[in-house]
Amino acid sequence: MEYPKVKRNVLLNPGPATTTDTVKYAQVVPDICPREKEFGAIMKQMGEDLVKIVHGDLNKYTAVLFTGSGTINIDACVNSLVPEGKKILVLNNGAYSGRAAEVASYYHMDHINLQLPITEPIDVAKAEEAIKADPDIAVVYCCHHETGTGVLNPIREIGAVAHKYGKTMVVDTTSTYAMIPIDMDKDNLACVMASAQKGLMSMTGLSYVIGNTAMIEASKDYPTRSYYTNLFMQYDFIKNKGEMHFTPPVQTIYATRQAIKEYWEVGEQAKWERHQSVWEALYKGLDRLGFKTLIPREMQSKLVVSVLYPDDPNFDFTKIHDYVYERGFTIYPGKVSDLPTFRLCSLGTIVPKDIEDFFECFEEGLKSMGVQVPVTYK
């Protein structure tokens, strides 16, 4: 069946991402009760696909689905995977690893919030030093990609250190999953997490934890700190009933099924290469207009560029945001409290031509505001 084309916006924010019309229209299905076996079969296949995307062995790893944003995964992993009398070490070098420390604090959990520089990757030696210093640490937690800055953390190396000392390695891969290739075993990971609206380029409302099955089953005997986000409870319900414990986001699951189909059709490497080509186009446009970035290119994920405001009294982020938004492009404010930045991202179903079109519009907007182009810095 042919559907009318939906107006296409180019989202340069770090998620939700620009989607295909086929993913959008996949939500238009006959009404169904999510407790039906037909729907359960869709979820079962989806769970297996989610594990395979990170090269997980289905005999060793499982996917646990939740209704909610990516923060529900952080909550579930932090509150569920720490045994009685043990601690979680949070390697905090940005807003999203910091959120895990905040979750631990809200649950009054014994935790270590190791605060590290936010404009550089985690120092593996410092991580090892912290792990060695406290034998009560059971879980090591970090964020693969801090989208506030664009910093990419060395999860394989950190995971190797965690495993060396017998710790569980949990990584927030919300902004890398299905974009940067991840391998559960090669990257030394026990648990990762993501949401459908980012790398899979689906809709909001579906999040998932992919974890070592034995680890999740062992957590049955750990302190119960949450009802809605208890990881074992959700896993056990899905395993035994073939359903999520609570109402799933039905339409988002249909959209995500289509998004996964399109992911396999494109392929892991080809998709990652496209994201990188978009990132290169972003840099080309920024260089042409004279903009500087917050961190060096070699530290970046190739998914987010955090851009410093120019030293021009006529530059106004809100005005340039509104100018490009009215013309079909979305840019995003920064997330570094003491530095004025904005972000441009290479997520979603966008290509370098979209970025060329964006910079034409962006330059027009800057000039209409009276900003000198190329921009200048003191």
Over the stretch 264-302, which tens digit does the pLDDT of each residue have? 999 999 999 999 999 999 999 999 999 999 999 999 999
Domain annotation covers residue 228: yes
pTM: 0.96
Handedness of CA 342, 345, 348, 353 (dihedral sign): positive
User: Is the Cβ–Cβ distance between 341 and 14 less than 8 Å?
Assistant: no
327's CB contacts (< 8 A; 6+ apart) are 361
CA distance 358 to 361: 5
Residue 7 has pLDDT above 70, yes or no: yes
C-alpha triplet 192, 195, 198: angle, nearest 5°: 110
* CB < 8 Å & 24+ apart, contacts of 33-36: 34/243, 34/244, 34/247, 34/248, 34/250, 35/243
Residue 337 has pLDDT above 80, yes or no: no
Q: What pLDDT score does 2 carry?
A: 78
> Regarding beta strands 329-330 and 304-308, do their DSSP bridges make them parallel or antiparallel, or are they unpaired?
unpaired
The count of residues in the chain is: 378
Residue type, 194: A
By residue range, what is the domain housing residue 237?
32-253
Query: Once rounded to an integer, what is the mean pLDDT over residues 124-142?
Result: 98
- The number of distinct structural domains making up the chain is 1
Q: Give the pair of three-digit tokens for residue 342.
A: 């904005």
Read off the pLDDT of residues 170-198 as tens digits, 9 standing for 90 and up: 999 999 999 999 999 999 999 999 999 99
Domain annotation covers residue 372: no
Domain annotation covers residue 15: no
CA distance 112 to 91: 8
Read off the pLDDT of residues 24-56 as tens digits, 9 standing for 90 and up: 999 999 999 999 999 999 999 999 999 999 999
Query: Once rounded to an integer, what is the mean pLDDT over residues 212-233?
Result: 98
Domain annotation covers residue 320: no
Query: Once rounded to an integer, what is the mean pLDDT over residues 113-137?
Result: 97
Looking up residue 44, the CATH number of its domain turns out to be: 3.40.640.10
Is residue 365 helix, strand or coil?
A: helix
Burial of 27 (0-12, 13-18, 19+ CB in 10 A): middle
Average pLDDT, the chain: 97
Q: What pLDDT score does 3 carry?
A: 82
Read off the pLDDT of residues 50-83 as tens digits, 9 standing for 90 and up: 999 999 999 999 999 999 999 999 999 999 999 9
CA dist list (Å): 330 to 14, 16, 202, 252, 365? 10, 11, 17, 22, 13
Domain annotation covers residue 368: no
Q: Which residue has the higher pLDDT, 223 or 378?
A: 223
CA distance 287 to 319: 21
Q: What pLDDT score does 1 carry?
A: 66
% of the chain exceeding 70 in pLDDT: 99
Q: What pLDDT score does 336 carry?
A: 79
